[in-house]
Structure 1
Amino acid sequence: MLERRALEIWEIVQAYDTPYEWAVGPKARASLDDILGETANCWADADAATTNRKLRELLTSALNDPNTDHDKAGRIYGWIVADWGGVRRNRQAVEAWSQPANGWHGHYGDDVLLAFADRVGATRISSWSKVFAFAAPDRHAIYDSRVAVALNLALEQLGETDRFFMPPSRIVRDKDGVPRPNAVARARARLRGGERLGYREYLAWLTAVRAQSAGVDFLTIEASLFANAPRMAEALGAT
């Protein structure tokens, strides 16, 4: 179904045409420069999408550089997940993924990465998929709550009943500590049930869209899902 309706899903997402916005603050920038030992070449661009693409290319190169040892790779993992991605819980465990016992660093083939994904299932998928996406962007992409909600809203609009697993979204609270769920969180709550699709199915859909669309890569699709999810949730979430 996903491959057959790949472009229909993609067209629904694209129709919202929301600019990609994800700021990298000065502390995070300084931290990355410290890890790399040089000033990253991607901070001068005012456009967030351009910055994001240059950052992806920069860290893909660093992670696949034979001179990057396991400890440096771990620091990059931690930066991607915590400083850039905002998932700060258990950073030490994220950095430990780079160690030889795990087998990732220096071996970013699908025999290693997908074996890990199959073993852990949805556990911390928003974190490890970020590392996968930076280490092997031609074969992997970030899978988080926004991405899954956007896909599920499109599937719902098409009348499909299968759903992607939706990782927890960040809980925003007011000054009194009362949860204030945003549109994506509200849509996530409503869409629960039938979550039979996961990371492998996501990759299959991405691959189908890329094959059927000129000039589109995984990062373009991933960024569009992420950027459009809030507007999709506002427009479709109450239906």
Structure 2
Amino acid sequence: MQKLITVLKKLSEEFSLESYEWGVPSNCPIEIPTLDDSNFEQNIYLKENLKNVLMLTDTLDHFYWIIQQWGGIGSFKKNDVNDAKIIKFLTELEKKTLTKVSFERISSFSKVASFLNPNDYVIYDSRVIYALNWLLFNYAPQVDLFVQPQGRNSELVKYDMQTIFRLSGKKHIFRSHKNAYHEYCDLMKMLSIEVYGVGSQPYLLEMLLFDIAPNAILKDIEKRVSVKINL
């Protein structure tokens, strides 16, 4: 694990979060200070303040805003079926075990969890898991991997991680959907403190992994992975 922490520290120094690319939509439910037009600072403000609104509302409208507008998952439409799925997920979240149905939407639902309680819950995003799995596989092989949600990044699709792992011939195990999310959050909390210091929020590491997946991680894969076809 120490080797992984060392690599993450190096990456955090090389890739500043001040250049974080994900912006906050203009129709945000709360007023966001300009904060020098920094996407990073605006997202931090949103993380720390939107929870106050979420705790006071009786509707799921803000949850849909997080998924659809901030998260960019417009396909998750507001209807009674999806209302029930969100409520079911929140119930399972407290019980610390997820059903397969909830985990199938973890990319969406974890966004809600991360805004409700940014101290304990982190976004389980395809890009983040892609980067994390690659680093775990190479620098902490004793740690079980995480099932990657379906993503939309065209660059990551070029190098399917599970195919790379299988072709490597190295032993690897993926966690169960029942406890993967909570174990992921615990790991991110621990690693975030190691990388960014005591008192650091786990979303800092999540933001770093999100940013480096389509550049630093892909470059590392291209440099280290090759396939020889025997005819």
Q: TM-score range by the shorter chain?
A: 0.7 to 0.9
Aligned CA distance change for structure 1 residues 29 and 117 (closer, same or farther; 3 Å): farther
CA deviations on 1:99-125 (whole Å, 9 max, x unpaired) are 8x6484xxxxxx751537522353111
Q: Number of aligned pairs?
A: 206
Q: What's the C-alpha RMSD, in Å, of the aligned pairs?
A: 3.0
Is 1:29 the equivalent of 2:26?
A: yes
Is 1:164 the equivalent of 2:151?
A: no
CA deviations on 1:174-220 (whole Å, 9 max, x unpaired) are xxxxxxx31x2233444465451331221121232245433421121
**Deviation larger for 12-21 or 43-52:** 12-21
Give 1:127's aligned amino acid. Answer: S
In structure 2, the gaps of 5 or more residues are 167-171, 225-231
Q: Is the helix fraction higher in 1 or 2?
A: 2
User: Helix, strand or coil for the counterpart of 2:104?
Assistant: coil
Q: Which residue of 1 aligns with 2:190?
A: 208
Q: Which residue of 2 aligns with 1:89?
A: 75
Deviation at 1:7, TM superposition (A): 2.2
Name the CA distance, whole Å, in 2 between partners of 1:103 and 1:142.
14
Contact 1:12–1:154 under 8 Å retained in 2: no
Contact 1:145–1:168 under 8 Å retained in 2: yes
TM superposition score normalised by structure 1: 0.73
Q: Write out aligned runs for 1:1-239 (5 A).
A: 7-8=5-6, 10-11=8-9, 13-14=11-12, 16-18=14-16, 19-24=19-24, 28-30=25-27, 32=28, 36=29, 40-43=31-34, 45-65=36-56, 68-69=57-58, 71=59, 74-92=60-78, 96-97=83-84, 102=88, 104=90, 112-115=92-95, 118-120=98-100, 122-158=103-139, 160=141, 162-170=144-152, 181-182=154-155, 184-189=156-161, 190-191=163-164, 194=172, 196-197=174-175, 198-212=180-194, 213-238=197-222, 239=224
Name the CA distance, whole Å, in 2 between partners of 1:14 and 1:191.
25
Identical amino acids, percent of aligned pairs = 25
CA deviations on 1:50-80 (whole Å, 9 max, x unpaired) are 0101111221111123xx11x2xx1111111
Greater relative contact order (Cα < 8 A, sep 6+): 1
Give 2:99's aligned amino acid. Answer: R
Name the CA distance, whole Å, in 2 between partners of 1:185 and 1:235.
14
